[in-house]
Amino acid sequence: MITRRWLFLLPALLLIQCDRRAPDRAVEIATTTSLQGSGLLDVLSTEFRRQTGLEVHAFVVGSGQAMNLARKGTVDLIITHDPERERQFVATMRPRMYRQFMWNDFVIIGPPNDPAGIRQAKTAADAFRRIDDHRAKFCSRSDQSGTHMKELDLWRLARVDPLKNPQYLRMGQPMAYLLRSADEL
């Protein structure tokens, strides 16, 4: 598994070293579906292999699952996008290294006819409230990913229980698949 000295060769990555096992010829990484879906995982893995000679074995999962794999010692490092749970993870697990290297922008995507009138919303929570008020369809990742956690935070801010909306669809899919599915509805 990866040793601390190799981590310095990855300045472009948020790396949380999760395990204290002896070095091997591969690094086990748990990362989000977003990193894979964007193609960035392949680029970073190739560059890491070129610089270190180590193979990268990736578990592509949601942020919550990535942190669980780290807690179990299954992986050497994780790349996630759930800042609140990352802070909790760092406080309880005390990883050797933690770096933030990217940020997310969340957008609400809907049909052009805007059935819930979210274009007039002043905040994201207001948009979610409007979706609920109009009983508009909403496709949720529903997979404990960082994106799903952000969605749940917005429902809380809107003071809405989305499960009471029969049009709230729990898709359990990575974002790219969810967007395709939503487009077909």
DSSP class per residue in 86-115: HHHHHHHH--S---------------TT-T
**Looking at the chain, which residues constitute the CATH 3.40.190.10 domain(s)?**
4-93, 118-184
Say whether pLDDT at 9 is over 50. no
Q: Is CATH 1.10.1060.10 correct for 4-93?
A: no
Q: Is the pLDDT of residue 169 over 50?
A: yes
Overall pTM > 0.85: no
Alpha-carbon distance values, 83 to 4, 57, 145, 154 (Å): 23, 24, 11, 15
Q: Tell me the C-alpha distance between 52 and 71, whole Å.
A: 25
Tell me the mean pLDDT in the region 136-162: 91
Q: Which CATH superfamily is domain 118-184 in?
A: Periplasmic binding protein-like II (3.40.190.10)
Assess whether pLDDT exceeds 50 at residue 66. Answer: yes
